Structure 1
Amino acid sequence: MHIGFITSEYPHPKVKQAAGIATSIKNLAVALVKKGVNVTVFVYHQNESGIVQDEGVKIHLIAKQTYNLFTWYFHRKFIQNYVNQVVLRNNIDILEAADWTGITAFMRLKAPLVVRFHGSDAYFCKLDGRKQKFKNFMFEKLGLKKASAYIAPTTYAGVETQKIFGLDKTKIKTIHYGLQLEHFENEFPDVYNRNTILYIGTIIRKKGVLELAEIFNKVITRNPEAQLILIGGDSSDIKTGESSTYKLMEDIFSDKAKKQVNYLGKIPYQKVKEHIRNAHICVYPSFAETLGMVTIESMAMQKPVVNTSIGWAQELIDDGINGFLVHPSKIDDYSNQILKLLKDEKQCSQIGKAARQKVELLFDIEKNAEINIDYFKSILKA
């Protein structure tokens, strides 16, 4: 079998961008290659074109094109033509793309298309309570309607996307993202920096970072030793027009809290893993995810996680057993849960061990790659 992924991001030094989508695609791509599947990745919107190999995966870099008019249409057709040439030349059996921006709208591809719900603009607008631009909605709907089948990383994401776009629910299968678990070992889970609270993710309103600032203000009043470390790129704020969401966080932090906050921005991934290993607890108070890779990465490294209580997170964490679920708008409840964990190292250890077991059960990429292969085969037989 030969599978092609169409994406705007992938973890490689020559690729412009790599975030959660990129990580999940690479984890799957590498696992598929190990199982004897040929994998080609088409990464569009790049600075220059080229072909590189990485861990058995062939990566086609497709340079961004500009046109005087209707770039949104002609660029898609350019990607379509490029992909189709490689599909025919290399006998690619099936293609996969993301729902975000509806990149496959207007494309006529030479292989069956599967769309994975990494999170459409429509999905996030619904969770955020924002109005979506009609053009963006139509692009995403057209892209989805062209697919032969769909994959959702959580049942919640599948149900919500199905309702938004009126999709055939029988064509949606839930397959969780997975981790290469050997890359997330923690030999000494009881060795960490006490009172260190870690957040990883874009500094953006929908991730609950403004609520996190309020939560930390509460924490610091009762635990002056607490420290908050933030890792991730800053973003503009859609509601206020502020160019920096971190600036909005700074306006919320109390004077005491500001002294105990360390914002590191974007850092190399190996250093991110070190920060997870060194953290006392990890917090992800997001309002909008499809799954949340950093949550399962933190759980894999035996960290107690305080997550959101919204839909998708209930499929990752069993509240009170292998993590905690608190709605980010409940500032007192969220801060109280953090404070309890900072005081109780025995509970942190128990939760961390149970978290690792949950990840091994549901998010092992070796197991989930087999589920993907079987599903791809079923689509080709249909």
Structure 2
Amino acid sequence: MELPACGLYRRGYALLYLLEAFLVGNWMKQRGLTHLHVHFGGPVATVGLLVSKSWGYSLSLTIHGPEEFYDVDLFYLQQKIRQAKFIFCISDYCRSQLMKYSAPDHWKKLQVIRLGIRPEEFVPRADTSPRAESSQNEITLVCVGRLVPAKGQMILLEAVASLLAAGHSLRAVFVGDGSDRKALEAFTASHGLSAHVTFRGALNHDHTREQLAQADIFVLPSFAEGVPVALMEAMAMEIPCVSTMVAGIPELIRNRVDGILVPASSVEELAAAIKLLILDAPLRRRLGAAGRAHVLERYNLPKNLERLAAAFEQALAQPSSSEENG
């Protein structure tokens, strides 16, 4: 029977979490540490929750999403919010989800501290090697991300097939690897796209930047996201981006201002957005420049790290709710 087995698995994981919590708590005690900060709200934060409860150390979190929002009970999300001294959220959307699952008296714990990229590492390509400037030239689409269902790459392949059938000259390059790769390669072969689609696999940062430097358009057709760093990197390189209206993406890309957003899952809307950029080189340049400006303003990692350090200092100086009540 499946249910008891599932229960046994969960009990087994619970025992492992308890063991890890003991080891972490003991490690902190030996070093005289009294505060634990954890990134992400999944299993590692569950260990942090147990450390805080069993050893009495204060706990704080940085929540990225979206996985922990899908099964609040499995991830003990409400308990983590109650136990945490403070929580940093990477987007307003992320904060809204935590507000959804917590009482208003916990909302003051939630602060938005955005992620970012280092602007000096992701710069526009030199003018000596210009991108395609008209629909007569082959347009290169680049998609960077794990090859998993949540990233929606199958939708992009369907859009590419539609655009090729309509006579547009383009190729698509996928950077990343994952469980969907075989299915994506099978679709590519069965639909006669092999001459136009390349799977580069997982690449290091330098080689990924090399692929981005060849892009005329960056596409990320995700079904679920936090705030994708891959989009920030492409925008910083002045590559016009097409993505979807999910989670924190609309905070990064304002539709028709910093890029183009389409409904997730819509092949037709995705193909139409790509077609618009294929046919309008000035629009590509304008969106690319606006995208870089927006990233430098709001997703500049050195500046955001300064904000993070200041937020840590201020939050750690505040008494916890238990100290206030004591």
TM-score, normalising length: structure 2:
0.81
- What's the secondary structure of 1:182's corresponding residue? coil
Unaligned runs of 5+ in 1: 1-67, 126-131, 236-244
Residue deviations 1:170-200 (CA, integer Å, cap 9, x gap): 2111111021221112341663475111111
* Aligned alpha-carbon RMSD (Å): 2.6
1:184–1:301 Cα contact (<8 Å) kept = yes
Q: Which moved more, 1:295-304 or 1:188-197?
A: 188-197
Does structure 1 residue 76 correspond to structure 2 residue 17? Answer: yes
- Which residue, 166, 172, 176 being the options, matches 1:232? 176
The aligned residue for residue 100 of structure 1 is: 42
Distance 2:170 2:146 in 1: 22
Does structure 1 residue 150 correspond to structure 2 residue 96? Answer: no
Q: Which has the higher helix share?
A: 2
Distance 2:75 2:22 in 1: 24
How much has 1:112 moved relative to structure 2?
Answer: 2.7
Distance 1:301 1:86 in 2: 42
How much has 1:259 moved relative to structure 2?
Answer: 2.8
Q: Which moved more, 1:177-186 or 1:164-173?
A: 164-173
TM-score, normalising length: structure 1:
0.70
The aligned residue for residue 51 of structure 1 is: none
Distance 1:347 1:120 in 2: 32
Distance 2:203 2:308 in 1: 31
Query: Looking at CA atoms only, which structure, 1 or 2, has the larger radius of gyration?
Result: 2
The aligned residue for residue 255 of structure 1 is: 191
- What's the secondary structure of 2:192's corresponding residue? helix
Distance 1:343 1:359 in 2: 25
Residue deviations 1:128-161 (CA, integer Å, cap 9, x gap): xxxx495x243x4444432111111110111023
Cα distance change of structure 1 residues 261 and 289 upon mapping to structure 2, 3 Å threshold: same
Name the aligned partner's letter for residue 93 of structure 2.
Y
How much has 1:278 moved relative to structure 2?
Answer: 1.2
2:227–2:247 Cα contact (<8 Å) kept = no
Distance 1:264 1:199 in 2: 10
Cα distance change of structure 1 residues 69 and 290 upon mapping to structure 2, 3 Å threshold: closer
Distance 2:21 2:308 in 1: 24
Cα distance change of structure 1 residues 318 and 120 upon mapping to structure 2, 3 Å threshold: closer
- What's the secondary structure of 1:279's corresponding residue? coil
How much has 1:86 moved relative to structure 2?
Answer: 4.5
Does structure 1 residue 246 correspond to structure 2 residue 181? Answer: yes
1:121–1:137 Cα contact (<8 Å) kept = no
- What's the secondary structure of 1:259's corresponding residue? coil
Distance 1:173 1:133 in 2: 20
1:100–1:120 Cα contact (<8 Å) kept = no
The percentage of counterpart residues that share the same residue type is 21
Unaligned runs of 5+ in 2: 1-8, 133-137, 319-326
How much has 1:361 moved relative to structure 2?
Answer: 0.3
> Residues 311-330 of structure 1 correspond to what in structure 2 (within 5 A)?
311-330=247-266
How much has 1:78 moved relative to structure 2?
Answer: 3.7
Greater relative contact order structure (CA < 8 Å, 6+ sep): 2
Distance 1:157 1:114 in 2: 16
- What's the secondary structure of 1:84's corresponding residue? helix
How much has 1:89 moved relative to structure 2?
Answer: 4.8
Residue deviations 1:105-125 (CA, integer Å, cap 9, x gap): 4223564321111215342x3
Name the aligned partner's letter for residue 158 of structure 1.
R
Residue deviations 1:75-117 (CA, integer Å, cap 9, x gap): 3334334433443455556432120233424223564321111
Q: How many residues matched?
A: 297
The aligned residue for residue 120 of structure 2 is: 182
Name the aligned partner's letter for residue 60 of structure 2.
V
How much has 1:224 moved relative to structure 2?
Answer: 4.5
Does structure 1 residue 114 correspond to structure 2 residue 60? Answer: yes
Does structure 1 residue 191 correspond to structure 2 residue 130? Answer: yes
1:227–1:261 Cα contact (<8 Å) kept = yes
1:199–1:231 Cα contact (<8 Å) kept = yes
Does structure 1 residue 306 correspond to structure 2 residue 250? Answer: no
Distance 1:72 1:79 in 2: 10
- Which residue, 260, 281, 285 being the options, matches 2:221? 285
